[in-house]
Amino acid sequence: MVPTIGSGNFLTTPIVTDDGQPIENGEGANDDESPNQQGRSNDAALEKKVIRWKQVLPQIGLDVVRTDQSLVFYQTESNQAKLWNVLAIYAWLDSDVSYVQGMNDICSPIVILLENEADAYWCFERAMRRLRDNFKTTATSIGVQARLSTLSSIIKVIDPKLHQHLEDLDGGEYLFAFRMLMVLFRREFSFIDALYLWELMWAMEYNPNTFLLYETSAADVTSANVTEKMLKRYGKFERNNVRIGCKDYQSALAVFLAASILENKHKRILKEAKGLDDIVEILGDVTGNLDARKACKEALEIHKKFLKKAQQPS
């Protein structure tokens, strides 16, 4: 449908109009035909899917040229095209989510690490099974809202004073942590630390019964039907969740990592934050100044503290 894919080039300008007609002067416009010309328009739903997909391709391209610009890998157009290819194909196959800004940050390290484009695609697709809910947005909710709500609950339990201060500043929805959870701290940590962080988190969250399907979660597994021998196969973080019967998929290690960052800024937020802009500025100072190993250790301590307090009677 779009021969630019796989050519070593990528699109940054529109190739179809709002009604799906080719833009003659658009980049790649001569490469493809309208759904009607391809004999596909008998299926109206398919035609709409094709049009929506073609409309998102230039947006992917615009984000690709802004992705990890400081890395030598992306100094060549052919490597940028690899990232575009993977995101473009994913947007077609997962049309429910399609493409949302931030997916490029998740996909970039995978494309760099895996030379084979097909391997990179399937690794990204597998990662998105964990993360795709972050990017699903409706008219009434944003993708990471559930995890932001969980973060709010965690801070309320382990640090009521900080939570109340945030509430007083109209920050009770914790939207200032949106980016952290959306792209798994790609902006807060260095490139190398982000890779370390992801591998550590995903290993500790490992559950042999989860992520078989998009909607599958640890909620299907309870402490009642898992023996201690079976638990040895689980990651340390997930093992503790299963033992106490925690079924909340949104209580991922990443949420506790965000909580640890807030806890580290506890005194400064209470002293200096007079509004939401101040909170954003304070949290912005951590960018590039965090150590992944130390942050994960603190997140696990907060997880342990939270579970202990959550089990106590009110």
Is it true that domain 1-136 has CATH number 3.30.70.360? no
What token pair was written down for 31?
């490469």
d(C-alpha 77, C-alpha 85), whole Å? 12
Average pLDDT over residues 267-290: 89
d(C-alpha 177, C-alpha 151), whole Å? 9
Residue 116: pLDDT above 90? yes
59: Cβ contacts below 8 Å, ≥ 6 apart: 99, 101
pLDDT, tens digit, 9 for 90 and up, residues 79-103: 999 999 999 999 999 999 999 999 9
> How confident is the model at residue 290, as a pLDDT?
82
> How confident is the model at residue 33, as a pLDDT?
47
Question: What angle, rounded to 10 degrees, do the helices at 236-244 and 191-204 form?
Answer: 40
Residue 218: pLDDT above 50? no
d(C-alpha 37, C-alpha 46), whole Å? 14
> How confident is the model at residue 90, as a pLDDT?
98
Among the residues of 141-275, which ranges form H helices?
Answer: 145-158, 160-168, 178-182, 191-204, 228-231, 236-244, 253-264, 266-272
Contact between 135 and 181 (Cβ < 8 Å)? no
CB atoms under 10 Å from CB of 297, counted, come to 12
pLDDT, tens digit, 9 for 90 and up, residues 65-81: 999 999 999 999 999 99
Which phi and psi angles does 235 have, rounded to 5°? Answer: -70, 155
Reported as a pLDDT band with limits 50, 70 and 90, residue 309 is confident
Is it true that domain 145-205+252-311 has CATH number 3.40.50.720? no
Q: Where are the domains of the chain?
A: 1-136, 145-205+252-311
DSSP bridge partners of 16: 22
